[in-house]
Amino acid sequence: MHRGLIILLLALSVIPVAVAAPIPCFYVAPEGRDKWTGTLPEINEAQTDGPLKNLHHAQKIARRLLETDQQRGVRIYVRQGDYTIKKPLIFTQDDAGLTEGPVQWIAYNNEKPAIHYAGKDAAVQFLDTAQLFFSGFSLSNTKGTGVLIDGCSHIFFAKNIIRNTSWMGIQLYDSNHIRIMGNDIYDVGGVAVEMSSHLLDNKLTYSNQLINNQIYRCGHTNFKTRFNVDIQGDNNRIANNRVFDLPPYSLRVIGSGCEITDNEFFDLKNAMYFSNDGKENSSTIRNNYFHSIQENAIKYSERYNFDAPCSVLIDSNIFHEIKQGAISISEIVGEQSIVNNIFINAFPLLRANLTNTDEKNIDLQHNIISSYPIERGSSHQPYDFTGVQLDGVTIDHNYFDCLVDEYSIRWTNKNRALTQHFSWLSWQAMGFDQNSHVIAPSFIAPDLGDFEVRPDAFIVVENKFTPFPTFRFGIYEDEFRASWPPVESDAP
């Protein structure tokens, strides 16, 4: 080997390699003392050092560290026990972390510390801050809101329990890239989760995520509550949530570019109200399970104007036992695709108000329409239209498991002065469902509530229906789930 190269290699071998400094960690416990260092999770044998006692004191220590070395971040572990605070726990820019050094408040070793606050404002507040991680706590018995997030970005709020709050569970304003994940939210007097803006156009609220949460029994004491999960803004994602027992609407989504996927909605009056925000964009409602709904599963309408087409894809969902209609659409502009869904005792599957004269396009194809268990001799109404014409409406290549003469289609003109019922043959003569089939869909185990379609079924092999997995609906086991198996508390 060349002598110069050997010398270079030897020189490089003795150059010290920089090693990232460990993240400073502090501990809080009910039996701790604020005069101690807080660097031990338990009191030492000499009773001379151990965890801190108060959350606010731990916050002061964390802030001092961040003033001198924000890049390292800081981690606060909170031990099991009750923490009754006299003032809210407020995180501001002084508590902000960085991407490479976030600030983390974590329940120690999967314990469940409980924060109690009797004031009327929010118990935990994130105000104009970023890169904060808050996980594993129980927030309860507040006279106001559990959590307020205002003017923030990149907050990770996970694995928490919010219950028995008089007003809201989580209230978010003008924030982006917030992840609300794996929480159990219940027995909230008003809205469970709200994402909105101080401004009317919601420009500052976008790209937030509501994932793997269990939300139930909210809005029963505040009778002004209409939407219990109210998500506004663009490019938000609502996925794998389990939502039930919320009056009168469980979920409202207003925005463009939103994704609503893999959720389970049941035991509700109305499951979802969806609207765009006047922008030309598209949103997706895919792979959700709606069942045991008293009125409608999805209501959809334009919100502001008809100049900005908004396309919505309703794809690969299951609608089961929907009493007053699965999908209700009114005053729409843009392409609305309802494809590859399974409707089981969800009549009418489509209720559409087509009274506006703007350009519209409804595409309803390759869906399964079932009345399982099949009751011969009963009458079903798959479609209910109000308007003056069906231009721009395509309905075909669907699969029915009942006799075609059991179906009727209702048509009401724009002033509702005339109602007509068309027979199935008359409906086909108008150019609709001409290539639809009457055939058993071949569900895997319908008696057990499994409506996944067999991969060897005729509608899959010979036609264009695409089977989709049903095991992904709702919440799932994860390190950031507040409870698993999911725990439902008894009513208070």
Backbone angles phi, psi at 149, to 5 degrees: -125, 115
Give pLDDT tens digits for 446-469. Answer: 888 889 999 888 888 877 899 998
Q: What is the mean pLDDT of residues 117-125?
A: 93
Give the pLDDT score at 19: 47
Give pLDDT tens digits for 147-166. Answer: 999 999 999 999 999 999 99
Q: Which residue has the higher pLDDT, 378 or 138?
A: 138
Q: Which residue has the tokens 């919601």?
A: 202
Q: Is the pLDDT of residue 171 over 60?
A: yes
Q: Is the pLDDT of residue 32 over 70?
A: yes
Structure confidence at residue 254 as a pLDDT band (50, 70, 90): confident
Question: Rounded to whole angstroms, how far apart are CA atoms 65 and 61?
Answer: 7
The H or E element that residue 459 is part of is: helix 458-461
Give the pLDDT score at 308: 55
Q: How far is CA 387 from CA 64, 300, 346, 348, 429, in A?
A: 66, 16, 22, 16, 19
Give the pLDDT score at 17: 43
Q: What is the mean pLDDT of the chain?
A: 86
Question: Rounded to whole angstroms, how far apart are CA atoms 379 and 367?
Answer: 19
Do residues 396 and 369 make contact, with C-beta atoms less than 8 angstroms apart? no
Structure confidence at residue 259 as a pLDDT band (50, 70, 90): very high
Taken as a whole, the chain contains a residue count of: 492
Which tokens belong to 117?
């606050």
Give the pLDDT score at 264: 97
Q: What is the pTM of this model?
A: 0.91
Judged by DSSP in three states, 384 sits in strand
Give the pLDDT score at 9: 46
The H or E element that residue 60 is part of is: helix 55-68
Question: Rounded to whole angstroms, how far apart are CA atoms 487 and 184?
Answer: 9
Q: What is the mean pLDDT of residues 289-303?
A: 88
Give the pLDDT score at 55: 98
Structure confidence at residue 7 as a pLDDT band (50, 70, 90): very low
Structure confidence at residue 10 as a pLDDT band (50, 70, 90): very low
The H or E element that residue 89 is part of is: strand 89-91
Q: Which domains does the chain have, with CATH numbers?
A: 118-461 (2.160.20)
Give the pLDDT score at 8: 43
The DSSP secondary-structure symbol of 216 reads: E
Give the pLDDT score at 143: 87
Question: Rounded to whole angstroms, how far apart are CA atoms 115 and 188?
Answer: 16
Q: Is the pLDDT of residue 407 over 70?
A: no
Give the pLDDT score at 20: 56
Q: How far is CA 68 from CA 71, 94, 460, in A?
A: 9, 12, 63
Do residues 104 and 127 make contact, with C-beta atoms less than 8 angstroms apart? no
Which tokens belong to 377?
């001799």
Give the pLDDT score at 336: 86
Q: Is the pLDDT of residue 202 over 70?
A: no
Q: Which residue has the higher pLDDT, 359 or 233?
A: 233
Q: Which residue has the higher pLDDT, 289 or 430?
A: 289
Lowest mean pLDDT among 363-367, 371-375, 413-417: 413-417
Q: Which residue has the tokens 């639809």?
A: 436
Question: Rounded to whole angstroms, how far apart are CA atoms 178 and 160?
Answer: 15
Q: Is the pLDDT of residue 376 over 60?
A: no
Considering all CA atoms of the chain, what is the largest pairwise distance in Å, rounded to the nearest integer?
100
Question: Rounded to whole angstroms, how far apart are CA atoms 342 and 359?
Answer: 27
Give the pLDDT score at 15: 46
Give the pLDDT score at 271: 95
Q: Which residue has the higher pLDDT, 313 or 377?
A: 313
Which tokens belong to 279?
């922008």
Structure confidence at residue 214 as a pLDDT band (50, 70, 90): very high
